[in-house]
Structure 1
Amino acid sequence: MFHNHPSRDIRPSEEDINVTRRLSEAGELIGIELVDHIILGEEYKSLKAEGLL
């Protein structure tokens, strides 16, 4: 999954982290793995690489 931050600030918000965890848990229930969550801005940030997934 990915989304953009129009502000170009790629730091994940608490809401970004919470939604990622909830989507990952929901996916597990139906057998779909959330591989990563990428935030796009001036550059990009991988929540998986940051240990947040």
Structure 2
Amino acid sequence: MSKSEDERAKRLAEALRLNLRRRKAQARGEAADDAAKADSPPRPSGESDVTD
């Protein structure tokens, strides 16, 4: 393989690994939780997640 083919193969392999991690996280439900946290505005300090 040429140098550019090797680089392309490495990029594709990395993209496949990232995609696999993302799909596994989504299957576990973690991706939905992370997306919800990213969409919500940050809370002022002193407020907690715990509700009484």
TM-score range, shorter chain: 0.3 to 0.5
TM-score by length of 2: 0.37
The structure with more radius of gyration: 2
Identify the structure with the greater helix proportion. Answer: 2
Q: Normalising by the residue count of structure 1, what TM-score does the alignment of the two structures yield?
A: 0.37
Which structure has greater strand proportion?
A: 1
